[in-house]
Chain A
Amino acid sequence: MDKRILCAPFSDETIRSLKAGDMVYISGTVYTARDAAHKRLCEMIERDEPMPFDFDGQAVYYAGPAPAKPGKPIGSVGPTTGGRMDAYSPTLIAHGLKVMIGKGTRGARVIDAMKQYTGVYFAAIGGAAALMAKCVESAEVIAFEELGTEAVRKLQVKELPVVVAIDCRGNDVYKLARES
C-alpha cells in the first residue's frame, strides 16, 4: 500500500477525494474533544459565543488522553466511540467542524450532515493508543482545562494512521465490511 499523507487543515477538495476504506495518515493540527467538551461547544453555539478555535477545515479527534509522563507531550491517546458524539455533531458540522476522527459507526443525522456540508469521518485504531501517542509531537490545552482528560487539546500530529470510515458521499466502511 502506498502511504498517503494528508495535511490538516483539510480543503473540500481533499475531503471529496477520500473514499470509505482508504487508509491514510494525518499530519498537522487536530483538536481533541469528547463527550463533555462537545456538550459545552454546543451550549456555546446556542448562546452565540465564539468557539475556542477556528473550525474551518480543522479536524476534531474524539480522544481523552492518559496523562503525559515527564518529558513526553502526551500519554496514550486512542480514539473513543464516535456514536456518543452523534447528538452534537450535526450542529458542529453545520458550523464548519466537519472533519472527525473517532471509532465505530455514526447515526443517520451525522451522515446526512456530512453529505450536505462535505464532511469526512475517519476511524483511528481503537486501543492502539500507545502507538498513536508516538505520532503526537506537541499537545496544549486550549479550552475547558477543568475537564481534565476531556479538555480540548491542540495536538500537532505526524502521520497519525486512520481509515476513512465514512466519506462525504455517505459510504460507510463498517456497513461495506458487513455486506461483503
Chain B
Amino acid sequence: MKQVKTADITALVEQLCIEACCVITEDINNKFKSCLQTETSPLGKEILGTLIENARIAREERSPMCQDTGMTVVFVRMGQNVQITGGFIEDAINQGVRQGYEKGYLRKSVVKDPIHRENTKDNTPAVIHYEIVPDDVFHITVSPKGFGSENKSALRMLTPSEGVEGVKRFVLDTVSAAGGNPCPPIIVGVGIGGTMERAALLSKKALLRPLDTPNPDPSLASLEAELLTEINKLGIGPAGFGGITTALGVNILTYATHIAGLPVSVNIGCHATRHAEGGL
C-alpha cells in the first residue's frame, strides 16, 4: 500500500494555488494569439492584445492574472491502495490553500456563511471533489474559480424529447444571457446526463480539458465545434465589446442518465480559466 503524507499534500496544494493563479496555461495563451489574428473587431483585437500582455506580466512577476483568485476548487484522484498518513486529508488540503493564498499574495474571497457573509480571511474552505480510482495514484488538480463567470452558469433538467437540439438551445441561451459579464472570451464547460449534481460536476470538470486536446468521442467533438461556431456568432466578443471571439472552446462531458431525464449543466469559465495539477 502506498503512503502519502499530509505534509506533502499541503505543500503541493500551496504550490498549485500560486501556479494556477499566476501562470496561464499554454493552450489558452496560444488560443489568445491565434484569435488575435482572426478577430475582426478593432476593439476586440485591442482587448486580446491586452490579455496576452496581462498574462505575460502575471507570469513574469508571479502576480495573479486576475484579482479574483476565486474559490478554490480541488479535484483529488486517489487510488484505493493509497493510505494517507499524518492527519486528515481535508485539513491538509485546506492548510495548503491557506498557505498558498497567503504566500502568493492571492485575494481571500471566501465568506464563512452564505447568509451572514463574514470573510474567513484565508480563502478556506476549499470545495473538494474526491474520485477513487484503482491502483495507487495520487493526483491533485487545483482550479481557483472566479465568480464573475461562476455566477453566469446554469443548470436545467431537460426532457428526453428535447434531445440534442434542446441541449444546444440551453447552452446558447446561457452564454447569450451571460453576455459580457463572465469576462469573455470564455471557455464553456458542459455536463450532460447523470443526475442534477453529477451534471453540474461534469460541467466543472469539462473546463479542465486543455483547448488543444480534442474530445475523444467524435460525435461530441462535432457537437463542441458546432456550439463554438454558434457561440462566436452571438457578437459578444472580447470583454463583451463586440467581435467574433466570444468563446475559446466548448468542452463537453457526459454520463449515463435516467430514462426520464436529460440534465444539462453549463459552467462558464472566464478567459483566465485556471488550473494546475501535480501528483505525489
CB of A23 within 8 A of chain B? yes
Residues of A within 8 A of B54 (CB): 125, 127-131
Q: How far is the CB of A10 from chain B (nearest CB, A)?
A: 21
Contact B68 A80 (CB under 8 A): yes
CB of A52 within 8 A of chain B? no
Contact A125 B107 (CB under 8 A): no
CB of B254 within 8 A of chain A? no
Contact B148 A81 (CB under 8 A): yes
Contact A127 B181 (CB under 8 A): no
Residues of A within 8 A of B3 (CB): none
CB of A83 within 8 A of chain B? yes
CB of A69 within 8 A of chain B? yes
Residues of A within 8 A of B61 (CB): 130
A122 to B103, CA, bound (A): 33
Contact check: which of B51, B107, B237, B239 meets A123 at CB < 8 Å? Answer: B239
Chain B interface residue count, CB cutoff 8 Å, equals: 44
Residues of A within 8 A of B107 (CB): 64-67, 75-76, 149
Mark interface residues in A164-176 (1 if CB within 8 Å of B CB, else 0).
0000000001101
Chain A interface residue count, CB cutoff 8 Å, equals: 43
CB of B6 within 8 A of chain A? no
CB of A178 within 8 A of chain B? yes
User: Which of A36, A77, A178 has the most chain B CB within a 10 Å cutoff?
Assistant: A178
Are A127 and B240 CB-contacts (below 8 A) given A76-B58, A148-B119, A177-B235?
no
Closest 9 CB pairs of A and B: A177-B242, A104-B181, A126-B183, A130-B58, A128-B54, A131-B54, A66-B107, A76-B67, A129-B67
Residues of A near any B CB (own CB < 8 A) = 1, 21, 23, 36, 63-69, 75-78, 80-81, 83, 103-105, 123, 125-131, 133-134, 147-149, 161, 163, 173-174, 176-180
